[in-house]
Amino acid sequence: MPEIQIRHAIRDAMREEMERDDRVFLVGEEVGYYNGAYKCSEGLLDLFGERRVIDAPIAETGFAGVGIGAAMCGLRPIVEFMTFNFSAVAFDQILNNAAKIHHMTNGQFSVPIVFRGPNAAAHMLGSTHSQAFEPFYAHVPGLIVIAVATAYDAKGLLKSAIRDPNPVVFLESELMYSVKGEVPEEEYLIPIGVADTKRAGDDVTVITWGQGVPVALKAAELAAAEGIECDVIDLRTLRPLDTEAVLESVRRTNRAVVLFHGWPYGGVGGEIIARIQEMAFDHLDAPVLRVCYEDVPMPYAENLEHLVLPTPERGLEAIREVAYRR
């Protein structure tokens, strides 16, 4: 299989779905003539023209609302936020319109729309551009929330998201767009709501997603050098959550660490820990630990940012602790 960057996997997924279904279109800031802020839409304007690759003004509330209205009328929009930090000004559209219209109209309207773009911290972008938004969106019934970490998953899950009849929040990572991975040349889909084991082991379960995946894999590599083998579960979909994949692993390893990009309070990590405690408590030989951001706004200074972010070393420390190897 050829190796391509995550940005190209995303582009190819959009291109294939736009070729397959003329109801699919892309709208967002700089997605057309600039080929996307991170070049995820490179070449799409030349292929599909201005009617289907639409450069929007700096007005996220406006173009998110246009996308929702178009979806209600039978189209299948892909709305790109240059960063999910900018989606904050479109909260009302996403939370109160996209997520609720199907329910409030008793199924008379569906909203088949994808909101996609980079999420969580990048590098020295400061407090207002470094937030992880999955807790905000996964909290809301009516939304599907996906977070990808590989080119293979990005393409297969984005294609599934575009075809889904429900609104999907599709979270990417600015720092990972250039990461390469094997992607089949033939068409494939990845089912929404199914986790993936990125590394197998029987000693500790490490649950992660999105930007946390490479950190968790590196932590597992460090742990393996000390004789601790980790089962690294990439959730991929945060709502709906593949709870059974998590529980199956925890019931086997009897220990769990949740490693993710995001604040500790009130997040997806806490939800996962609650489900483990409720459904696998008798299997636990140690408390479930989490490795995530420190509970502070993200600093701009590089040395301080490093202290806030989850690292493989912090992951290793948590793995050691639950395995009683400190």
Question: Mind listing the pLDDT tens digit for each residue in 123-173?
Answer: 999 999 999 999 999 999 999 999 999 999 999 999 999 999 999 999 999
pLDDT confidence of residue 304:
96
pLDDT confidence of residue 322:
98
Residue 292 near residue 268 (C-beta atoms within 8 A): no
Q: Which residues of the chain have pLDDT under 70?
A: none
pLDDT confidence of residue 8:
98
Q: Give the residue among 102, 98, 120 at the shortest CA–CA distance from 110.
A: 102
pLDDT confidence of residue 116:
98
Please tell me if the domain spanning 3-182 has the same topology as the one spanning 196-322.
yes
CA distances from 304 to 123, 308, 320 (A): 11, 7, 25
pLDDT confidence of residue 66:
98
pLDDT confidence of residue 10:
98
pLDDT confidence of residue 5:
98
- DSSP symbol at 139: T
Is 129 an annotated catalytic residue? yes
Q: Give the residue among 258, 263, 294, 261 at the shortest CA–CA distance from 276.
A: 258
**Residue range 3-182 in CATH 3.40.50.620:** no
pLDDT confidence of residue 326:
76
Catalytic residue among 29, 60, 134, 174: 60
Instruction: Give residue limits of the domains in the chain.
Output: 3-182, 196-322
Q: Give the residue among 206, 191, 145, 136 at the shortest CA–CA distance from 172.
A: 145
Is 3 an annotated catalytic residue? no
pLDDT confidence of residue 1:
85
- DSSP symbol at 189: -
Q: Give the residue among 305, 247, 298, 304 at the shortest CA–CA distance from 276.
A: 247
**How would CATH label the architecture of 196-322?**
3-Layer(aba) Sandwich (3.40)
Catalytic residue among 129, 221, 229, 321: 129
